[in-house]
Structures are given as structure tokens and as C-alpha cells.
């Protein structure tokens, strides 16, 4: 529906023919878009298109179509769904763990008003996130109590701040790690005023280093799993079980930051610590992330002794780092639901992955090459997960990324590698379609 020219608009200056904002906003399709996009966003978009016409990038006659095209069926947010074809299970840049269908449903249900802190039977206020807590305790019977906060870093901050009090946090020099984007755990701990007492050396720390450090000035002892690197060679660290006794004797709480969120030992990752073992070994409180190998939403999970968890829950910081209702809902559904997608991807049977990869490779005219998946995101410390990828022409990588859905691959050795490990088999067809579209774009058949 062309916007009629306004009286007096005929002029030699083409800019006079640019449709007016109020006319464009009144177009039914534009007005309808205000349902998903706020009026301000729609107005800004209209003005941006008018500005392009004023700058001569498009003709005034193209303005209305450009506005409609820009609106498309654009959702209100800018985050786009991505098909993760990298083979990296917990890809921090791609939002870490994908939620299970059960968790997605729980998220939707909790999005409105919900009884996150309310007892519907009595009408009284209730403990926040009681459902997530119960699910954690059912999944980790070795824990007496549990607390969920915003993320792993927040859980570590809360545990060290609350348990160290005015005392020192004893930490091995071999565990002073940077978790990414320049964030260093020792700096994080020190940021609340806690004092670090470093013990041992980078490669070797002995029990005597800890016991020498324990004294009246000790607030807590912290063990951090070095989740994103490995020290090999002349190394030694103290097993948690050996450290627990001296800590108990000195009445000093022992915190174990495990990172990855494995609740029980995982045969495929024999070096990855798990919550059950750490608690049995004598940790007073264990810290894990919700969105790594646990496969849930972003969350920091604290599990351990009831009196220790109670101390953490009472600390003022607990309120500043509390989990939101969406995370609590998704976490509970992840724990009570079927095996989450990250663990499914981890445990992919190589023969099944190979067959699936070969089938899609044949369809796409690609070749099957060996390709190792990885846990990523601070877990599994770069342990290769043997698998395969479809090798395609390298120019597809960029085009696949800007497609809809976006497909993120790995570029290696001048080829675009598509690893299906992290994708459910139902997505193979979407991947095939995305590759077909990327190829036609590469051939210049589609220009937008």
C-alpha cells in the first residue's frame, strides 16, 4: 500500500518525497509491529530508514518497503538462536548449557507471577526456591542443605566472604586461576576485603603447607579445581580427603570450588571432580556452576553442611547474589527432568555420531574427518572427546553464522568443520537447509 503523496509534496528535491513518520507509523503492518516492539523502537527504526533516504542510500519510494522489511517478524530481543556445530559442549560465548525441553517449559511457566516465595496452601510467605533446593538435595543425598545464587563466581564470593569473616582464606598457589575474560578468582575473593593466605608453589603444594598456615587467623580453606588448564610433570596436590581432617580439627571450614557441576563421577571425564565425592571426602561446602556440566541455567550452587549453608544464607551478600525465579525454575526442572542436553552430547556414542555425520556429509557433498569435541567453559580441562565433523568449503563459515538460524562452526586447516555432537539429531535437517542457503548465497543467487 503506497503512502499517498501529501499536498505540496511534489518538488524537485527528492527528499521532499520521503514518507512522513506519522504516515509510516499508521501503516497497519507497522502499527502491528508495535505489539512485539515498543513504540520507541519502531519509531527509531522508521527514522533510521528515512535517514538512509535523505542520505541518498535508498530512494524515497523504497522507504516504506525498507521499513516493512526491517520490521519483518523481528522479535523484541536481539539474541538469536544458534546451532552449535563447534563440538564444544559448554561454549561460554554461546550461552553455555542449552536447557532441556523440561527446563524451557518451566521457564515459560515461571515467567509470569509464580509462587517462588509463597505457600499457596497457607497463603504465607515461604522459603524462596524451595523446589530447586529440594531437587538439589534429592540429586545430592550427601548434602545436608543447598543454596542457589546467581552464578559460580557469586557462590565462591559468598562462601569465602561469609566463612572467612575477618580471617584469612588459605589457598594453594597452584589454584590461583583466571576463569576467562581477565577474571581471576583470587582477585574476586580479595575484592570483598578477604585476605588471601597463599600456600605451596605453582606446581607443588603439600599437606604441611596447609597445616602450617592453619591458625587463629584462618577464616577458611579454599580448594579450587583448576578446570581450564592442567599442570603436568613434577606436581603434587593434597587430596581433599587428606585436608579435611586437619581443617575439622582446627574448626576451619573447607570450601571446594569444583566449577563444572558434575553431581556424581562421570566415566568419560575421570579427572573431573564431582559433588558427591567432594562432600564424602569432607568438604564442608561445595561450589558449582549451574550452566556447565550440570546442564542447567546460569546459577551458582552451594551444597554442604546445614550450619554452613545457614551461615551463607544469612549473610547480607546472599541477598545481592540471589538467583532469579527463572533460574530457579529451570534448575529444578533440569535436576528432576531427563538427562540434560550437555550430558547427552558428552555421552554421544562415537559410532552413532559417525553414522549421523556420514549421512549428512553425503547429503551435503562434504567429507567426514576426525574432529575432537571438548567440554569447554571451564570443565574437562581440554580433554578431547573423540568424534567426527563434516568438512565443507571454508567460505561457508561466515555465511552460516549470519544465517537464520545462525550456525557456528569451526574453521581449521582452511576448511569449515561442522561437528554435530552438540546438536540433537532433529536439527540435521535445519543444518542441511542452512548449508544449502549459505551455498546459494556464496554463489550470489540470494543477495539478502
**Of 280-299, which residues contact ligand PLP (CB under 6 A)?**
289
* Choices 108-116, 147-155, 263-271, 394-402; region in contact with ligand PLP by CB under 6 A: 147-155
CB 208 within 8 A of CB 239: no
Q: In angstroms, what CA-CA distances link 38 with 42, 45, 214, 364, 414?
A: 6, 11, 58, 41, 44
Give the contact letters, 295-334, x = binds to ligand PLP (CB under 6 A), - = no: -----x----------------------------------
Which of 60, 98, 152, 376 touches ligand PLP by CB under 6 A?
Answer: 152
Residues contacting residue 160 through CB under 8 Å, at least 6 positions apart: 169, 189, 192, 194, 219, 220, 222, 255
- Nearest by Cα to 369 from 389, 352, 349: 389
Residue (173 or 354) nearer to ligand PLP, CB:
173
Q: Return d(Cα 448, Cα 444) in angstroms, integer.
A: 10
Q: Is 153 in the site for ligand PLP (CB under 6 A)?
A: yes
Q: In the set 161, 227, 348, 357, which binds ligand PLP (CB under 6 A)?
A: 227
> Which of 156, 294, 329, 343 touches ligand PLP (CB under 6 A)?
156
- Residue tagged 551463607 (cell numbers): 312
CB 114, min distance to ligand PLP, A = 24
Q: Which stretch binds ligand PLP (CB under 6 A): 117-125, 223-231, 306-314, 329-337?
A: 223-231
Distance CA 259, CA 257 (A): 6
Phi, psi dihedral angles at 103 (to 5 degrees)? -70, -35
Grid cell locating 266: 562421570
C-alpha cell recorded at residue 339: 538427562
Residues 231 and 201 sit within 8 Å (Cβ to Cβ) = no
**Number of chain positions touching ligand PLP (CB under 6 A):** 13
- Beta partners for residue 82, in sequence order: 406
Nearer CB in complex with ligand PLP: 83/153:
153
State which residue, 201 or 226, has the beta carbon closest to ligand PLP.
226
Q: Out of 30, 83, 139, 179, point to the residue binding ligand PLP (CB under 6 A).
A: 179
Instruction: Give the interface with ligand PLP as residue ranges (CB under 6 A).
Output: 151-153, 156, 179, 224-225, 227, 257, 259, 289, 300, 378
Amino acid at each position: 500500500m503506497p503512502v499517498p503523496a501529501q499536498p505540496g509534496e511534489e518538488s524537485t528535491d527528492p527528499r521532499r518525497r520521503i514518507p512522513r513518520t506519522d504516515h509510516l507509523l499508521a501503516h497497519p503492518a507497522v502499527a502491528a509491529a508495535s505489539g512485539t516492539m515498543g513504540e520507541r523502537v519502531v519509531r527509531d527504526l522508521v527514522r533510521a530508514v528515512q535517514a538512509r533516504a535523505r542520505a541518498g542510500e535508498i530512494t524515497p519510494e523504497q522507504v516504506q518497503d525498507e521499513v516493512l522489511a526491517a520490521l519483518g517478524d523481528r522479535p523484541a530481543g536481539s539474541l538469536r538462536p544458534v546451532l552449535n556445530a563447534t563440538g564444544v559442549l559448554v561454549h561460554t560465548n554461546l550461552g553455555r548449557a542449552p536447557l532441556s525441553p523440561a527446563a524451557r517449559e518451566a521457564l515459560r511457566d515461571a515467567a509470569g507471577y509464580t509462587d517462588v516465595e509463597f505457600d499457596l496452601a497457607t497463603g504465607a510467605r515461604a522459603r524462596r526456591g524451595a523446589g530447586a533446593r529440594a531437587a538439589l538435595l534429592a540429586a545430592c543425598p550427601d548434602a545436608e542443605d543447598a543454596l542457589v545464587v546467581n552464578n559460580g563466581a557469586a557462590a565462591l564470593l559468598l562462601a569465602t566472604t561469609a566463612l572467612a569473616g575477618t580471617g584469612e582464606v588459605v589457598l594453594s598457589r597452584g589454584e590461583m586461576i583466571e576463569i576467562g575474560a581477565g577474571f581471576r578468582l583470587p582477585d574476586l575473593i580479595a575484592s570483598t576485603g578477604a585476605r588471601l593466605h597463599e600456600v605451596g608453589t605453582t606446581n607443588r603444594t603439600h599437606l604441611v603447607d596447609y597445616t602450617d598456615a592453619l591458625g587463629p587467623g584462618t577464616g577458611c580453606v579454599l580448594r579450587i579445581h583448576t578446570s581450564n588448564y592442567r599442570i603436568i610433570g613434577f606436581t603434587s596436590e593434597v587430596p581433599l580427603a587428606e585436608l579435611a581432617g586437619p581443617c575439622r580439627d582446627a574448626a576451619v571450614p573447607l570450601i571446594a570450588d569444583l566449577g563444572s557441576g558434575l553431581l556424581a563421577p562421570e566415566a568419560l571425564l575421570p579427572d573431573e571432580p564431582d559433588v558427591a565425592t567432594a562432600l564424602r571426602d569432607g568438604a564442608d561446602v561445595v561450589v558449582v556452576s549451574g550452566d556447565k556440566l550440570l546442564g542447567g541455567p546460569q546459577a551458582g550452587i552451594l551444597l554442604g553442611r546445614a550450619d554452613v549453608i545457614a551461615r551463607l544464607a544469612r549473610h547480607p551478600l546472599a541477598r545481592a547474589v540471589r538467583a532469579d525465579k527463572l533460574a530457579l525454575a529451570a534448575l529444578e526442572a533440569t535436576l528432576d527432568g531427563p538427562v540434560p542436553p550437555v550430558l547427552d552430547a558428552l555421552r554421544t556414542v562415537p559410532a552413532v555420531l559417525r553414522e549421523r555425520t556420514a549421512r549428512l556429509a553425503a547429503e551435503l557433498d562434504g567429507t567426514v574427518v576426525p574432529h575432537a569435541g571438548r567440554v569447554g567453559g571451564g570443565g574437562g580441562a581440554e580433554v578431547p572427546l573423540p568424534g567426527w565433523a563434516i568438512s565443507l568449503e571454508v567460505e561457508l563459515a561466515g555465511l552460516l553464522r549470519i544465517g537464520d538460524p545462525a550456525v557456528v562452526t569451526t574453521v581449521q586447516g582452511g576448511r569449515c568443520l561442522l561437528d554435530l555432537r552438540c546438536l540433537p539429531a532433529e536439527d540435521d535437517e535445519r543444518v542441511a537447509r542452512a548449508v544449502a542457503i549459505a551455498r546459494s548465497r556464496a554463489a550470489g543467487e540470494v543477495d539478502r
